[in-house]
Amino acid sequence: MTEPLTTGATIGILGGGQLGRMLSVAASRLGLRTHIYEPGANPPAGDVAHRVTTAGYDDAAALAAFAASVDVVTYEFENIPTTALDLIEQSRVIRPGRQALATSQDRLTEKTFLQGLGLHTAPYAAVDTAADLDAALAQIGHPAILKTRTMGYDGKGQARIMSPDEAAAALAAMTGAPSLLEGFVDFSHEVSVIGARGADGAVACFDPGENVHRDGILHTTTVPARLSPAQRTDAVLIAARILNALDYVGVIGVELFVTPGGLIVNEIAPRVHNSGHWTQNGCLIDQFEQHIRAVAGWPLGDATRHSNVVMENLIGGDMGRVPDLARTNTALHLYGKAEVKAGRKMGHINRITGPAT
Amino acid sequence: MTEPLTTGATIGILGGGQLGRMLSVAASRLGLRTHIYEPGANPPAGDVAHRVTTAGYDDAAALAAFAASVDVVTYEFENIPTTALDLIEQSRVIRPGRQALATSQDRLTEKTFLQGLGLHTAPYAAVDTAADLDAALAQIGHPAILKTRTMGYDGKGQARIMSPDEAAAALAAMTGAPSLLEGFVDFSHEVSVIGARGADGAVACFDPGENVHRDGILHTTTVPARLSPAQRTDAVLIAARILNALDYVGVIGVELFVTPGGLIVNEIAPRVHNSGHWTQNGCLIDQFEQHIRAVAGWPLGDATRHSNVVMENLIGGDMGRVPDLARTNTALHLYGKAEVKAGRKMGHINRITGPAT
């Protein structure tokens, strides 16, 4: 597709979680429709999408029908089976493109890509066997963290190695999956940049946000982040370099560690990102609309921040706080998930703390 | 219903136009679903509603099934047949209530109600016959404007009478409908207050906006409006008095003429209002969410304005400006209407002009 989508056109979205839900809402603002493809029944995005297909990623007929019914395809999570993407790409453009997915689906590929751009990452080594792990620990030292190369998110598929005698247990926790040992980085705090690149190659980044995690899950993002002007510029330039190198179209999340020696790239996510939810109440155009604009072939929107914001995730039992939160000067964003589970992202809140500084 | 709606509950909305569409989006933010009831096929709200019923307001079976499928009912326009409302009210609460609808559906009832509250309106007189009109013109003078008592919107069902010899033609234009003669008000500009009242009786009003019309259709709304601090207070107090008198639950639009002698109420609309669209990009909580909060039995949200905004409607051929507008620092809101017609509201834009002053 080369022409921008116009009123009534449909964007196909792989995945029907809260990110797909908020992408559907953003598409509606631009007069566009969405069609959600999701294996699970009653996905959160289904409440606001024009159409939902409930089928697995191994259902070739459903995938082909889905592709035929939409004008362009995007996704709300990066762990989509390659076979499904191959099938869709026979008839429809996928944005962001396959290189971005291939790079971010595998931690080893990602780290190699980032270092190839001259960016800094944690020290790392591929680990498939106990011998690999011994060699990696000898090289990188400990503490270190062993992670599966693929399919990890929200701290899942990770094991810390505080001393060499924990190596065997950590390797066992990978259950045979190809893995990566990462050295610890001595950082003061984590920030992330939500960047966007249009089909025309234009790049626009939101102000970096400062992230605090709890139990391996994002807890809060605060803008502005504690960064010097030089660090802020660096953060945005890093995101732009990654976007351009991947010939990227859409929104990307780039997590960065702030260290005395500079910014270190933790990981990239080729999609709208939890740490960008503050943009919904801090900017004229939020990350979801920015992604839709890019995917639809539209010009990027105004990424200027008008307010200082604190975003806080509502996880599992936090839903019990909603009646009280509804009484405060807070924007609630609930995902419509009926079942509350420990560790499940149920919603988030944005609190404006003042005009942008 | 007395308990606030919780995640997954459904709000029924009568009418599937752009207001229903934006109400559906607001409901999704709070984890709620919407079910649209609309006689026309493929309504704009259908793109983002969980469910759509396509049926007429005379279809008793469809209305009963609709009511049974939702937890509470609201509406996006006030000209709903009384029989349909009676049927729905047998099983479900309608918010805002019947008194608000009855008052605003008939210009005579509305004017009488407003004067009963001690508020100022244009001079008026009921007109059913040529004799009535002669008497009304003798009392009110000319120029004046003859309007049908019911079913008028966007300047439809109105005829100006600049001199008595235009009286007969104006009366003929009413095609026999009960009418109202209104005297002209010498006002400097028009403002409107978007007010909200919760089920708990709490009232919250957005800052008044200043309206400019073209060809009888709203063209722009600008905040802040040109009002003295005393006028601003008056405007909000007028809206609050109306809300309380109607024991209102939901958002109301109150149009006011600014005159040297004070504020004069032009008309009220018992629903979210075109002149409140600026709240989407000027406030933490917009008029659509405020309405959903009230209808759902939630506390009202934060109506504070964080930015100065100019809202401009996109009418008919204005859609041709969208590609250029997409390149500016503007939030586009398109309604997904496939067919462009002269005078048809296709979307609107909000431009932030600075921090709130």
Question: What is the pLDDT, as a whole number, of residue A154?
Answer: 59
pLDDT of residue A155: 61
Asked whether the predicted pLDDT for residue A107 surpasses 90, the reply is: yes
The pLDDT, as a whole number, for residue A151 is: 76
Q: Report pTM.
A: 0.95
Query: How do the residues of chain A divide into helix, strand and coil, expressed in percent and rounded to 5?
Result: 30, 30, 35
Q: Rounded distance, CA B216 to CA A191, Å?
A: 51
Under the banding of pLDDT at 50, 70 and 90, the label for residue A178 is very high
Residue type, A16: G
In 10 A of CB A214, how many CB atoms?
10
Residue A308 has pLDDT above 90, yes or no: yes
Closest CA to B276 of B303, B301, B249: B303
Q: Which residue of B has its CA nearest to A298?
A: B326
Q: Closest-CA residue in chain B for A324?
A: B299
Min Cα–Cα distance to chain B from A232, Å: 22
pLDDT-derived band of residue B196, with 50, 70 and 90 as boundaries? very high
State the nearest Cα–Cα gap between B302 and chain A, in angstroms: 5
Which pLDDT band, with edges at 50, 70 and 90, does B246 fall under?
very high
Q: What is the pLDDT of residue A239?
A: 98
The pLDDT value recorded for residue B152 is 66
B73-107, pLDDT tens digit by residue? 999 998 899 999 999 999 999 999 999 999 999 99
CA distance B317 to B319: 5
CA B45 to chain centre: 17
Q: Are the CB atoms for A180 and A267 separated by under 8 Å?
A: no
pLDDT at residue B59 tops 90:
yes
Q: Which pLDDT band holds residue A153 (cuts at 50, 70, 90)?
A: low
3-state secondary structure of A178: coil
Residue B282: closest C-alpha in chain A? A284
Confidence label for B17 from pLDDT (cuts 50, 70 and 90): very high
Contact: B329, A304; criterion CB under 8 Å: yes
Q: What is the CA radius of gyration of chain B?
A: 20
The predicted pLDDT at position A338 comes to 85
Compute the distance between CA of residue A61 and CA of residue A81 in angstroms, rounded to an integer: 15
A2 pLDDT above the threshold of 90: no
In angstroms, rounded to a whole number, what is the distance separating the alpha carbons of residues A280 and A301?
13
Q: Given this model, what pLDDT does residue B338 score?
A: 85
Q: Which two tokens stand for residue B168?
A: 């007969």
The amino acid present at A15, given as its one-letter code, is G
A285–B334 C-beta distance less than 8 A: no
Strands B209-214 and B189-197: antiparallel
Of the CA atoms within 13 Å of residue A326, those in its CB half-sphere come to 23
Looking at residue A192, what is its pLDDT? 98
Q: What is the mean pLDDT of chain B?
A: 95
User: Token pair of A338, please?
Assistant: 């009926």
Q: A77 pLDDT exceeds 90?
A: yes
Residue B113 C-alpha, separation from nearest chain A C-alpha, in angstroms: 32
pLDDT on residue B1: 66
> Which of B10, B19, B284 is the best substitution to test chain A (most A C-beta atoms within 10 A)?
B284
Residue A48 has its nearest CB partner, among B25, B298, B336, at: B25
Residue B56: is its pLDDT beyond 90?
Answer: yes
Nearest CA in chain A to B336: A31
- Please judge whether A330 and B302 are an interchain contact, meaning their C-beta atoms are less than 8 angstroms apart: yes
The mean per-residue pLDDT over the stretch A62-82 comes to: 96
- A21/chain B closest Cα distance in angstroms: 9
Give Cβ neighbours of residue A8 (< 8 Å, ≥ 6 apart).
A31, A32, A33, B336, B338
CB B49 within 8 A of CB B58: no
Query: Is there a contact between A22 and A34 (Cβ–Cβ < 8 Å)?
Result: no
Give the mutation candidate from B18, B47, B305, B341 for the A interface (greatest A CB count, under 10 A). B47
Given a cut of 80, whether residue A75 has pLDDT beyond it is yes
pLDDT at B238 over 90: yes
> What is this model's ipTM?
0.93
Region A18-33: mean pLDDT is 98
Domains of chain A (ranges, CATH numbers): 10-94 (3.40.50.20), 123-183 (3.30.1490.20), 189-355 (3.30.470.20)
Q: Tens of pLDDT along A315-327?
A: 999 999 999 999 9
> What residues contact residue B308 under an 8 Å CB cut-off, 6+ apart?
B223, B224, B282, B352, B353, B354, B355, B356, B357
Q: Which of A31-45, B139-153, B165-179, B266-280 has the lowest mean pLDDT?
A: B139-153
Cβ <8 Å between A7 and B46 = no
pLDDT of residue B155: 61
| Whether the predicted pLDDT of A152 surpasses 80 | no
For strands B33-38 and B10-14, give the pairing.
parallel
Q: CA-CA distances (angstroms) from residue A238 to A57, A120, A242?
A: 33, 10, 6
Q: Are strands B33-38 and B51-54 parallel, antiparallel or unpaired?
A: parallel
pLDDT in tens, B120-176: 999 999 999 999 999 999 999 989 999 999 876 656 788 999 998 999 999 999 988
In tens, the pLDDT along B251-268 reads 999 999 999 999 999 999
Q: Which contiguous run of DSSP H or E holds residue A251?
A: strand A250-259
Helices A82-89 + A98-105 axis angle, to 10: 180
Measure in Å the smallest separation between the Cα of B221 and chain A Cα atoms. 17
What pLDDT does residue B153 have?
A: 60
> Mean pLDDT across chain A, nearest whole number?
95
